[in-house]
Structures are given as structure tokens and as C-alpha cells.
Structure 1
Amino acid sequence: MSRKFKGLAALCLTGVLLAATACGGGSSGGADDGSDDGTVELRFGWWGNNDRAAATQKVIDAFQKANPGIKVKGSYTDFNSYFDRLATEVAGGRAPDVITLGGAYPREYGDRGALLDLAKVGLKTDKIGAAALDNGKFGGVQYGVPTGVNAVAVVVNEAVFDKVGVPLPDENTWTWDDFKKTAKDLAAKLPKGTFALPDPTKTDMLDAFSRQRGEALYTADGKVGISAGTLAEWWNMTLELQQAGATPPASQTAELITQPAPEQSLMGRGEAAMQFDWSNQLGALSKAAGQPLKLMRLPGEIPTPGMWLQASQIYSINARTEHPQEAATFVDFLVNSPEAGKIILADRGIPANSDVRAAIQDALGEPEKAQAAFIDELTPKAGPPLVIGPTGSTDTPKILDRVNAEVLFGRQQPAEAATDFIEQVGTAIKQ
């Protein structure tokens, strides 16, 4: 989470957040009192690309047709900009009525009083699995509901493997040593400008890597759980890949961080054989690449699995909305309506509602069916639920990007970077 948020949060996101006079008066900024004809207007905030925007607008249109007394105005931006903008909006009392979140953000905003307790609006969740539902529940309060179920995975372009004659590894047995060998074999045969994979350093991958070693990025009591030794092992591996030409040079990796859309990625441009990503990105990546792609389990899952099932995204309601019941009606439509499910399909993960999942099965395209099959196969093999980061942990991705750059540009050695990362994250989650 941005430093801007933390400064503003001290003024706005405390216990006075819900007071009518706090940071901008009693209006939510997310909805007005409704038009002269009694229509209620809601704002809905989310992140994504143009394809997701088109599908989301179709869902909004369908909802408005079924609920003519409610008008929904969608507002979106790319992933990198979304949370900085949301932090400013929440702090200024101008947040959308329905807010899309993920990762540790439901806890971050829920703990600060910015999200509505969904028990107050009677939102139905009986068809949503507990594992996904708990991603939006903290301190016994349900602050959000999952859009769908997701998992980290290796996205593979089999055509690239076949073209250079490198065999696909066995996803049920491959180790991280097998992964490194495969990446180096690809690097030795791929044309210039094409890589085995982008640099894989992300918080999700650190979590999976550490879970395979009996750790986790965070502990259940809200502390840093990953050890310096595990971090050093990770960075020694990624440096080895970079030096072998399996991943891009540091300058290109730094550029790619600013280009999060699937069509901007190496995989989407047809310039990578593998990419660590979330399973729900398969369709967008396949479309961008212009050919079918495959999902595989992470290396190193035997004997201790590090993968987990997670809510793809979370829909929450602004605690200051002037129209909580109407906002809940919209969220109910998003997650519990087969009509919405048939439009969204698996773009926000495999539907968490079992009835919606069944209703859309025949409408799924090949990438979506592959996602569903991947989740079904993973479910009995996955590790325990993820420990969601404590308040302040939304700073971690930016800390990781900064420290990772130090490693890739050769300004820090892995052991030094490991200590630095742990200290910085520890400071962030204590604030």
C-alpha cells in the first residue's frame, strides 16, 4: 500500500471514519441520494484490461435491466494504479460503493473500518466454499465475498517447447532443480529476445516457495514467516537463471513490472516459454499469445505442497455507502447469479458459487475448461489455506520489487537482500 495511504489513513481511516463529519462529511462520495425519479446510483470499482471492462459492462447492463431502480457506474484502471487510487479515494471519503479487493487488502481496509460487515445486509453465501469465503473474513467479520477460486500456476506455451525440442517436465514430480535445468535448456536453444520465462520474483511465489519449506511469507500471529535462508536460496536461483539468459536482463525486468496487462507480458507477446501466474489469467494470456497455453503445477510440490486455493478477487461494500442494501443486491448478482456467471465465465477465477459453476460449465471455452480442470485436480493436492498478511503487508509487493531490483542489478547479494527484505516488511507490518 502506498505511503500516501498511510498518511491519509491516520486522518480518515480510524474509528471516526464512519462518523458523519469525518473526512468530507456524511456522503460516501460513492453514490448520491438518487435521481429525481428515485433511482439509486452506485459506483463499482475494479481493475483489469479492456476485455474485462467489456464483460463487466455487460454484467452491469444485465443487473440494471433486472433492477431498474438501481444504476451502476463502473470505474476501473490497470492493476498497478488501482490500489493507489483506491487508497486516496477511501481516505478522502470518495470510495466506490462496491469495491474490488484481493490479498491482504480486505483485512487492511476492514481493520480500519472502511468496509461494511456483510452480516448487516444479509448477503447469501451458503453456496460458496469456506476456503474461498474465509479470504474475506477477519476477526469473525465477513468483509467481502470471493469472485471465484484461483491458484498460482506455471503457464506453459507448448509450441515454444516443441519448436526448440525441449520436453515438457512432469508436473507431478518436477523439482526446482528440474525447473532450473528446463529453463537453461530452453535458454540455450531459444532465439535472441525470447526467454524461458520472465523473472519469477513475486510475493505469491515467495509464499509458495517458503510453504514448501515448512514456512510461509507471514505467520498466523502477524509476523514475517519466511526465513533469510529461504529468501537467499530463491535469489541465488533467480540470479542463476538471469546469468544463463533464461530470464531477461535486469533493465527489461524493471520495464516489465510497469506493464502488468497480459498482452504486455512476455508470454502474451510470444516471447516466453513459461510464466508463473494465476490460473485465471490463462484465457487472457492465450488470447494475447494467439495460441492455446497450458497450466502446470509449480515445481517442488513433492513432498510438501506449497500451492493453495485462493479467492481470485473479493467484492466488498464501502462502510460509508448511503445505499448498503442496494450495494448488497449488486454484489449478490455478481457472485450468485448464473446470468452474471455466464458473462464473466472464469475471468475472475472459477466461480466460487457452486450453482453458478454448474450453470456455466457448458458455456466455458477451452481455456476456461482448462482452468476448471486444473482447480479440480489441485483441490485434493493443495496445501493448507494461505495465511493472509496482517495490516501493513500490502506494502510488501513494492518492497519486494525494490529489493529484487537491487539483486538483479548486482547492488545487493542474496543474503544481504534477504535481511533487508525481512527488516523492511517487518517495519511495514508493525506500523
Structure 2
Amino acid sequence: MRAGRNVSMRRSAAGLLALGLLAAGCGGSGGSGGDGTVTIRYSWWGDASRAKLINETVDLFEKKHPKIKVKTDFLEYADFWKKFATQSAGGGAPDVFQNSAAFLREYGDKNVLLDLNSQVEAGKLNMEGFRAGLEKAGEIDGKLLAVPVGGNTFSLIYNVEEFEKAGIEPEKGWTWDDYQAGIEKISKKGGIKGAASNAGVMYFYDLLLRQQGKAFFTEDGKLGFAKSDLKKWWSDNYADVRNGTLISQKKADQAAPKSTMSSDLVASEFSWDNFIVRWSAETDTEMALAPIPTTDGKKTGQYYSSLMLSGYARTEHPAEVAQFIDFMVHEPEVGKVMGYNRGVLATEAQYEAYRPEGPDKLVAEYEEEVTDLIEPMTPHPAGTSVAEAAFLRIWGDVAHGKSSVDEGVDQFFSEAEQALGS
């Protein structure tokens, strides 16, 4: 890690509050120097490997823009958003930060996000040359609240050797029955479990609902499923945890922050396709990607999502923020450095500049394979982040046996409906 970078992994709750109050006194900006040099703050979530790559791209930016200095900071996903909530509430959010669709409307409605349209008009930010319509990914109600740096879709990441030994052929059109039979066969052999329990992952459950003509959220921002739907889902998963088909929540927690896949505890796990890049770096086990199993042999419910960069509405340096974002999404050298760490590169210039190898090549090939399965994404309403966190936390309590399925479902609906204002 480059000396002088403000890199932090975890802080206590008191430390987060203190940092938020300190940042509030700075007005959300790193300030300006007497020689005209401007300093902006840039934060994201991820692991140390992502931080190394991002800091390399920051070095490239500073060499091209010597009058703009960038202070960097990162945390794991959940800790990042806890810290961001404190910072934004205190008026001291970073000038530019990593974002996703789940938080656009929530923080957009709170006027935390910078509308970048004026910077596009001023020529500081180019919104042309994006792939697959991603230039629209960060637009909410006519405002440009984020710019994508990479795109991805959901997948099954699996252990090649274990699947081959079990005779499982994960391919387009395979069904949940096919998948269930396969993971049961692996688990019954003893040792490695057939799969992780992803029952608390909102995005994964959303795909299953979409296969049934529903969705996690409706177009008007309500929950798009009934208590009976969730009771069946969590009951089935809890039964598989108890009978040993799925890994126990205790062992999954012990593996954190690594995944159960990269810890070689399971033979498969559902996640965003680009996660195979990180997980492959954490183990020598050969992994591959497969489409989501289906109910009818056709509809997977998959959609294309993206990681994005947003600016802080109260930044003192909106032009410099726009220049920074523009560089990060269009500069070919940035694409060569980042690869598919944050998903397949969002702009044509970076996509063409990078030649994927290893796990990155698997991601590129997978997305080409499932292009015809991709559907439009349901917009995420304000309150999504609270609902997502509650879904994961409450399933964890159910999986640990701290709550019954019925109690967990009732608690989730209560918390989610309150968060969504319904």
C-alpha cells in the first residue's frame, strides 16, 4: 500500500462517530492548497486486493492531474455503509465514493448525491461510449447520480472438480431439481458441503421471485412477495442446513470475511459473477461460472447491475470530482489495471484496452453466454439498504436457531415495511 494513503479496515462505533464529526467540520472536502492544489476524498468498499488496484489508478490520475490530490479510504461492504451513514448525516461524506443501485434512490432522496448533469454540460464528464446501456444506470428522476465503472450479473460459482466427480452439468436450462440433487450428492459423501446457504441474500432471492413472475420490490417501492413465499423459502433452506446439505451458519461465520467457497468449505455458492476474481485469488481450487438454475428451463430472472461512482452533493470541488470520475471510467490504462475486479468494464474504451485472462476471462465468457437471459432490473426504492441488511441479519438468526422461521418472517416484514414506508 502506498505510504500516505488513509486506508482503514475496521473501526469501532465510537471511532466511526468521531470520524463523522471530524469530517463534518471539514465540510465534506479535503480542501485546497495555497498553490491551487485541490484535495478530494475517495472511498469504496472491498478487500485489500481491490485497494491495491484502485490506489494504482489514483496514482495514474494524479500524474495526469498534478493539481488534484486524492486521499483514499476503504472498508468491507457492511462497515463502509455504516460509516457512510454517519458521515453523510454529519455533513462530511467523501467527495467521491463507490455506489450501487441499492443506495441511489435512498441517498438521492436525502440530497446526499451530486447531480452530475451540470458537469456533463460543462464538459468535465463524458457520458458517451458506455456498453450495454450502462450510461443510464445511475439516472434517477432525470438526475445523474452515479456513473458505472463495471457491470455484472448473478451466477453460480462452483468447484469444478467436485461437480465433475458428482456428475453435475451446470448449463443453460438446468433446473432447481438438477441442482438440488447434485449438491445433496456432494454433501452425502462427507467433508465438503454441496453449497453455501444464500437464503439471506436479497439479490439471490429476487432472482427466484422473478422466475415466478414476482420480484423483491414492486415498481412502486413495496415488497413484491407475501409472507407465505418467504416462509417456504426459509423453511426449505433451514431444513437443508439441518440435514447437512448446506453449510451451517456457524461455519460460514467462522470463515468470514472470506467466502465459504474461497475457504474450500462448499462446492458452490451463488453470487455476482465478478466475485470469482477475488475468490480465485484466495484459493488454489479451480472454479467456474454457471447460469442460475430455473423453474421452467428458460427463465433465470437475471439482470445486469453495476458498481458506480457518485459525488457528494456538498463537495467543494464538483468539477474536480467530475474529472476524477471521467478518468476512472474512460481512461484505458485504468481498465488495464482494474480488470474485472468490479465487473466487466463499463466503457468501450476500457473494455477494448483490457485483454482478460484467468478468472477475468471466465467472467467475460460467462456474460457473453447469458446475454440472451438478461432482463430489465426492477428499480430499488428508498429503504432498500435497510431491507437488505434486515433480510441478511434475520436469516442469520433463523439459521443459528435463535428465531423460528415464522418469527423471522414476521420480524423481516415488520422492519422492511417500516423502512419502505408501507
Give the structure-2-normalised TM-score.
Answer: 0.89
Aligned partners of 1:402 and 1:266: how far apart in 2? Answer: 17
Query: Which residue of structure 2 lines up, in the alignment, with residue 210 of structure 1?
Result: 209
Q: 1:357 aligns with which of 316, 336, 351?
A: 351
Kindly indicate whether residue 387 of structure 2 is the aligned counterpart of residue 426 of structure 1. no
Query: Which residue of structure 1 lines up, in the alignment, with residue 152 of structure 2?
Result: 150
Closer, same or farther: CA 130–293 of 1 in aligned 2, 3 Å:
closer
**Maintained 8 Å contact 1:31/1:321:** no
Aligned partners of 2:50 and 2:359: how far apart in 1? Answer: 15
Where 1:304 maps in the other structure, the secondary structure is coil
1:346 Cα deviation after fit? 0.5
1:382 Cα deviation after fit? 1.4
Closer, same or farther: CA 132–236 of 1 in aligned 2, 3 Å:
farther
Q: 1:372 aligns with which of 364, 369, 372?
A: 364
Aligned partners of 1:239 and 1:394: how far apart in 2? Answer: 24
Structure 1 counterpart of 2:418, which letter?
Answer: T
Where 1:205 maps in the other structure, the secondary structure is helix
Closer, same or farther: CA 109–35 of 1 in aligned 2, 3 Å:
same
Where 1:73 maps in the other structure, the secondary structure is strand
1:305 Cα deviation after fit? 2.8
Q: 1:396 aligns with which of 387, 391, 395?
A: 387
Aligned partners of 1:166 and 1:252: how far apart in 2? Answer: 23
Aligned partners of 2:135 and 2:109: how far apart in 1? Answer: 17
**Post-superposition CA distance 1:185-220 (Å, at most 9, x none):** 1101132xx221221120011111100110000001
Structure 1 counterpart of 2:304, which letter?
Answer: L
Q: 2:39 aligns with which of 21, 38, 41?
A: 41
Aligned partners of 2:135 and 2:243: how far apart in 1? Answer: 42
Aligned residues: 397
Aligned partners of 1:292 and 1:179: how far apart in 2? Answer: 19
Kindly indicate whether residue 325 of structure 2 is the aligned counterpart of residue 335 of structure 1. no
**Maintained 8 Å contact 1:115/1:143:** yes
Structure 2: runs of 5 or more not aligned? 1-12
Closer, same or farther: CA 335–177 of 1 in aligned 2, 3 Å:
same
The 5 Å alignment of 1:170-249 reads 170-191=170-191, 194-201=192-199, 202-249=201-248
Aligned partners of 1:352 and 1:115: how far apart in 2? Answer: 21
Query: Which residue of structure 2 lines up, in the alignment, with residue 309 of structure 1?
Result: 304
1:246 Cα deviation after fit? 1.9
1:117 Cα deviation after fit? 0.7
Give the structure-1-normalised TM-score.
Answer: 0.87
**Which runs of structure 1 show a deviation greater than 6 angstroms over 4 or more consecutive aligned residues?**
none
Aligned partners of 2:402 and 2:43: how far apart in 1? Answer: 39
The 5 Å alignment of 1:1-400 reads 24=24, 27-32=26-31, 34-122=32-120, 123-129=125-131, 131-162=133-164, 165-191=165-191, 194-201=192-199, 202-256=201-255, 259-260=256-257, 264-300=258-294, 302-311=297-306, 313-360=307-354, 362=355, 364-383=356-375, 385-400=376-391
**Maintained 8 Å contact 1:151/1:278:** yes
Structure 2 counterpart of 1:120, which letter?
Answer: S
**Maintained 8 Å contact 2:292/2:300:** no
Structure 2 counterpart of 1:303, which letter?
Answer: K
1:131 Cα deviation after fit? 4.3
Aligned partners of 2:325 and 2:226: how far apart in 1? Answer: 39
1:130 Cα deviation after fit? 5.8
Closer, same or farther: CA 356–170 of 1 in aligned 2, 3 Å:
same
Closer, same or farther: CA 131–403 of 1 in aligned 2, 3 Å:
farther
Aligned partners of 1:241 and 1:269: how far apart in 2? Answer: 20
Aligned partners of 1:177 and 1:239: how far apart in 2? Answer: 17
Identity of aligned residues (%): 29
1:399 Cα deviation after fit? 1.0
**Post-superposition CA distance 1:142-175 (Å, at most 9, x none):** 100111110111101112334xx20123321221
**Maintained 8 Å contact 2:62/2:70:** yes
Which range moved further: 203-212 or 407-416? 407-416
Query: Which residue of structure 1 lines up, in the alignment, with residue 9 of structure 2?
Result: none
Alignment RMSD (CA, Å): 2.1
1:342 Cα deviation after fit? 0.5
**Maintained 8 Å contact 1:286/1:367:** yes
**Post-superposition CA distance 1:12-50 (Å, at most 9, x none):** 9xxxxxxxxxx957x533321x12221111110101111
Aligned partners of 1:215 and 1:226: how far apart in 2? Answer: 7
1:413 Cα deviation after fit? 4.6
Structure 1: runs of 5 or more not aligned? 13-22
Query: Which residue of structure 2 lines up, in the alignment, with residue 408 of structure 1?
Result: 399
1:237 Cα deviation after fit? 2.4
Structure 1 counterpart of 2:301, which letter?
Answer: G
1:412 Cα deviation after fit? 4.7
Aligned partners of 1:135 and 1:85: how far apart in 2? Answer: 24
Where 1:288 maps in the other structure, the secondary structure is coil
Structure 1 counterpart of 2:108, which letter?
Answer: G
**Post-superposition CA distance 1:64-83 (Å, at most 9, x none):** 11111111111111112100
1:108 Cα deviation after fit? 1.0
1:254 Cα deviation after fit? 4.5
Structure 2 counterpart of 1:304, which letter?
Answer: K
Aligned partners of 1:252 and 1:398: how far apart in 2? Answer: 20
